[in-house]
């Protein structure tokens, strides 16, 4: 409904597991947009994903947050969901 399920900085006001759940939800939103664009989930293939994670300066588990989204894409799309991925930690988004 256009409402954010959560926001904040991982390691400050967002726990790692919550960040992982939000990453999965973001991936679902991306799949929904792709289906809207091409008409069918069978026509969707993920080639590359770039993930930005807002975290505290000492948070170093950006890849664990991104893994949640990557795992969901593989669960839903199978081999068409396997992709190259970069996870980048940022101070703010």
Q: What is the pLDDT along the chain (93 residues), one digit of tens a residue?
A: 778 899 999 999 999 999 999 999 999 999 999 999 999 999 999 999 999 999 999 999 999 999 999 999 999 999 999 999 999 999 987
- Domain residue limits at 76: 16-90
Residue 58 located in a structural domain: yes
Q: Give the Å distances, CA to CA, from 12 to 19, 71, 75, 86.
A: 11, 25, 30, 22
Residue 93: the pLDDT is 78
Residue 20: the pLDDT is 98
Residue 1: the pLDDT is 74
Q: Domain with 72 in it: what CATH number?
A: 3.30.1330.40
- The number of domains in the chain is 1
How far separated are the first and last CA of the chain, in Å rounded? Answer: 22
Residue 3: the pLDDT is 84
């Amino acid at each position: 409904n256009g409402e954010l399920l959560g926001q904040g900085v991982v390691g400050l006001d967002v726990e790692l597991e919550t960040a992982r759940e939000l990453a999965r939800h973001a991936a679902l939103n991306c799949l929904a947009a792709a289906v809207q664009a091409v008409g069918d989930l069978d026509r969707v293939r993920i080639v590359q994903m770039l993930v930005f994670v807002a975290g505290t300066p000492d948070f170093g588990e950006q890849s664990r947050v991104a893994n949640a989204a990557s795992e969901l894409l593989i669960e839903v799309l199978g081999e068409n969901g396997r992709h190259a991925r970069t996870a980048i930690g940022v101070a703010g988004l």
